[in-house]
Amino acid sequence: MKKVLIPLAALLLIPVLANAQTEWDLQGEFWPQILLDNAIGSGHGIAVDGMDRLWFQPFSKSDSVDTGGGVYEAVSATYVFNADMSLVEVLKFVSLPGGVTDTLGFDALADNGRGLRADGNGDILMSLDKSLYYLDHTTVGDGDGIATGFKRAFNDGSTGYCAVNAAAVATDTGNIFIGSVCSGDDASPRELNPTDLGDLGNVADISVGFSRSFEVSPDGNSVLWAGYTNNAVILYQRADEFSAWDSIGTVLRGMDSESMTINRATGNLWVGSGSPNDAPNRYVLPDGTPVVTNWNSNTWYEFALADVIDGDAVETPLGSITWGECQTFTAGVCNETGGRPRGLAFSNDGNTAWVTQFSQTAPAMYYYTVGTTSIDQVDSTVPESYTLSQNYPNPFNPSTTIEFALKESQHAQLSVFDMMGREVAVLVDQTMMPGTYEATFNADNLSSGIYLYRLQVGATQLTGTMTLLK
């Protein structure tokens, strides 16, 4: 947690005004030295394998191999790290059935990185422009740059795909799905056989909108197609694996999502909302009526999956993670970056998250951990102003509740300071939807005394004082 020192006088000059959400704390950049050494600027895929190692995939080819006689050719390397940023492997090759060794991205096509996903066992689906690999994660880590797995080539004339694949998805029940980035392509998304990546059937005969990412429910019967140019997510469903797919309609309206995933530890869905390149909050109904939404760009929102796939297009966020640089927003667009959210992955216990962005100058990855503060939304009615209420009880020992209200979707920070102006706790530091919230502050580790608490939302700052008596 970043510590700040604020003069007490400055705090006292600020006027004092009298649904559970998950708080995520930004821990910092996750940008190991090798990514700097290889001049990697932005990411396109991240995943966590069954050994809690982070896989990072750049968009462009970032390493090379000796093809003989000292001639080097560029390859689409993927980097595997431990949680402490130590390097496990620079993956360049895949050992395929029959003793064939394939070099990642080493063909006539511009086989750039398109995404990474883990299956329920922690094995990795690696998507490139026209290749899909299914990799055994336990074969990575001996320093030879080789993983064992198998491959499906999408330049074999069997699809009408454009030159790129959207990041493939593997469900807990073993279903695998792939789709095309390009709008209007054949059989996108489609289901594949997990044993050989052969076709099983189409979810849709024609892809609708350009898509970088999509997600599938654990039972394999609901597909959330994030065609970001649709300004919403299309929901496809089937009754069971033997039934036909139907288009249910749009959900998560106003989101131009290029990144989504399920946190397997919680079962909740996380959806990127958009970027300065594809701003959120632009969905219009077929009859021309605009739908008013208040999503912020460069933010991943958390939802109960059942709340999304019920198809009623009314979803309540349970939490959010905002790109580390973003502090202020204009009309829902982050002012501090032009990057595009492209990857989100969770540790196997669900308590650490990594995010990456495309079109992002280095560092292009941050990591976050679950906070210890309890945050509850007590009223979803949009208030007329920002407010910060007196904590209760007051005096308190050791816990107290602080209520605050937000009149619009914005990045909010609720912090606690001692009388020397030193920050002793950050209770809230995330993008939140309009409404009234309660945050619980536990002062077990602090001494008796008077403390100040401050709510900062954009240019608005509100403060209060509270007394800890032990």
**pLDDT single digits (tens) 364-397:** 999 999 876 778 889 888 999 999 999 999 999 9
* DSSP assignments along 306-373, one per residue: HHHHTSSS-----EEEE-TT---EETTEESS---EEEEEEE-TTS-EEEEEEES-PSP-EEEEEE-S-
Structure confidence at residue 161 as a pLDDT band (50, 70, 90): low
Structure confidence at residue 327 as a pLDDT band (50, 70, 90): confident
* pLDDT attached to residue 16: 31
- Evaluate if residue 136 carries a pLDDT over 70: yes
- Evaluate if residue 71 carries a pLDDT over 80: yes
Domain range summary for the chain, segments of one domain joined by +? 8-21+375-468, 24-370
- Give the CATH number of domain 24-370: 2.120.10.30
- Evaluate if residue 348 carries a pLDDT over 70: yes
Structure confidence at residue 173 as a pLDDT band (50, 70, 90): confident
Are 31 and 39 within 8 A, CB to CB?
Answer: no
Can you tell me whether residue 213 is helix, strand or coil? Answer: strand
- Evaluate if residue 355 carries a pLDDT over 70: yes
Kindly state the helix (H) or strand (E) to which residue 8 belongs, with its residue range. helix 8-12
Burial environment of residue 418 by CB neighbours within 10 A (0 to 12, 13 to 18, 19 or more):
middle
pTM here is: 0.82
- Evaluate if residue 309 carries a pLDDT over 60: yes
Structure confidence at residue 187 as a pLDDT band (50, 70, 90): confident
* pLDDT attached to residue 12: 39
Mean pLDDT of 197-215: 93
> Distance between CA 34 and CA 118 in Å, rounded?
23
Task: Say how far residue 184 (Cα) sits from the centre of its chain.
Answer: 26
**Percent of the chain residues past pLDDT 70, beyond the cut:** 93
CATH class of the domain comprising 8-21+375-468: mainly beta
Mean pLDDT of 66-95: 93
8-21+375-468 and 24-370: identical CATH topology: no
Kindly state the helix (H) or strand (E) to which residue 37 belongs, with its residue range. helix 33-37
Q: Tokens 């989504």 label which residue? A: 260
